[in-house]
């Protein structure tokens, strides 16, 4: 067998489909876009699609499937959304009900699947330009914070924006803005630079999700919209049923990160 690092997205999805990989996907199939998953019953699909349209930075839609459809057409031509993600979370009325490795037995013909962009795409570009990505250096989860910036509500769905924080050396902040601006379909440019209290963050050492990371002297905290936002908003709305990927256990697409970038 090939080394795990050498598998392409198709080979990786096959491994996941067979139940042979149920761990996080960070660092796998480098160069290819990974996606967040949200599945909702059709009765909530218009409101959620509208929520994403109104909040493209935290909710960058890569692909939305027709009701009942579980095969992607854009992110891949041979993927099955019911089996090709390492771990799923099943929520009932906003509470985690079960963690499973496939969802074929839960599937209903009114399920609508949303796949959303992920910051892994722009982190790769930052690293290529020698901009440090601290949580990768420290082998941690990216620190995430709930801000006091409200998302634009849509129907059932409303709530504050969740952001990720990456400490950037002050002489590289401009370049970090320029690089991530190119990735408009995977969270894009920062939401805020410099002053956590201005967006309602009290203590950078106490993220709401993920791990705290070291901020070195001369580094500026830079904040990007985070894909946890739509999940937090959906949980708050307490739909009868919602299925997501387990955090970090993403869908690996056949699309190159560069194909998601503005020229």
Please report, as ranges, the residues that interact with a second copy according to CB under 8 A.
Answer: 42, 45-46, 49-50, 53-54, 61, 64, 66, 73-74, 152, 154-155, 181, 184, 189, 262-263
In the structure encoding, which two tokens stand for residue 179, read together?
Answer: 């690089």
Identity of the residue, 41 or 132, whose beta carbon is nearer to a second copy in the bound complex: 41
For the CB of residue 41, give the shortest distance to a second copy in the complex, in Å. Answer: 12
- Name the DSSP class of 80: B
For the CB of residue 64, give the shortest distance to a second copy in the complex, in Å. Answer: 6
For the CB of residue 176, give the shortest distance to a second copy in the complex, in Å. Answer: 14
Closest CA to 223 of 155, 149, 144: 144
Identity of the residue, 99 or 174, whose beta carbon is nearer to a second copy in the bound complex: 174
Query: Which H or E element spans position 130?
Result: none
For the CB of residue 4, give the shortest distance to a second copy in the complex, in Å. Answer: 33
Q: What residues contact 80, with CB distance under 8 A and at least 6 apart? A: 17, 70, 71
Identity of the residue, 12 or 251, whose beta carbon is nearer to a second copy in the bound complex: 251
- Name the DSSP class of 66: P
Residue given tokens 């970038």 in the structure block: 261
For the CB of residue 8, give the shortest distance to a second copy in the complex, in Å. Answer: 25
Phi, psi (rounded to 5 degrees) for 157: -100, 125
Identity of the residue, 94 or 155, whose beta carbon is nearer to a second copy in the bound complex: 155
CB-based burial, 64-77: b 16+ in 10 Å, e otherwise: bbeeeebebeebbe
Identity of the residue, 155 or 218, whose beta carbon is nearer to a second copy in the bound complex: 155
Under 8 Å between Cβ of 163 and 199: yes
Under 8 Å between Cβ of 227 and 56: no
Identity of the residue, 56 or 196, whose beta carbon is nearer to a second copy in the bound complex: 56
For the CB of residue 258, give the shortest distance to a second copy in the complex, in Å. Answer: 15
């Amino acid at each position: 067998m090939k080394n795990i690092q050498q598998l392409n997205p198709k080979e990786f999805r096959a491994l996941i489909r067979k139940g042979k990989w149920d761990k996080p996907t960070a660092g796998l199939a480098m160069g290819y876009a990974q996606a967040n998953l949200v599945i909702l019953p059709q009765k909530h699909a218009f409101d959620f699609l509208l929520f994403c349209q109104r909040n493209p930075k935290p909710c960058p839609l890569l692909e939305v499937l027709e009701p009942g459809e579980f095969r992607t057409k854009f992110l891949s031509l041979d993927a099955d959304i019911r089996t090709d993600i390492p771990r799923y979370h099943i929520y009932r009325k906003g509470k985690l009900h079960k963690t499973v490795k496939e969802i074929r037995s839960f599937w209903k013909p009114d399920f609508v699947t949303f796949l959303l962009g992920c910051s892994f795409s722009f982190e790769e570009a930052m690293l290529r330009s020698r901009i440090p990505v601290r949580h990768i250096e420290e082998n941690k989860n990216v620190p995430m914070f709930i801000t006091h910036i409200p998302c634009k509500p849509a129907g059932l769905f409303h709530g504050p924006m969740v952001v990720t924080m990456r400490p950037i050396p002050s002489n590289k902040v401009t370049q970090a803005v320029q690089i991530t601006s190119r990735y408009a379909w995977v969270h894009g440019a920062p939401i805020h630079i410099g002053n956590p209290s201005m967006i309602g963050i009290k203590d950078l050492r106490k993220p709401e999700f993920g791990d705290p990371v070291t901020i070195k002297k001369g580094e500026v905290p830079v904040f990007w919209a985070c894909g946890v936002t739509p999940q937090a908003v959906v949980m708050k709305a307490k739909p009868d049923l919602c299925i997501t990927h387990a955090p970090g256990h993403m869908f690996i697409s056949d699309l190159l990160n560069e194909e998601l970038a503005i020229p």
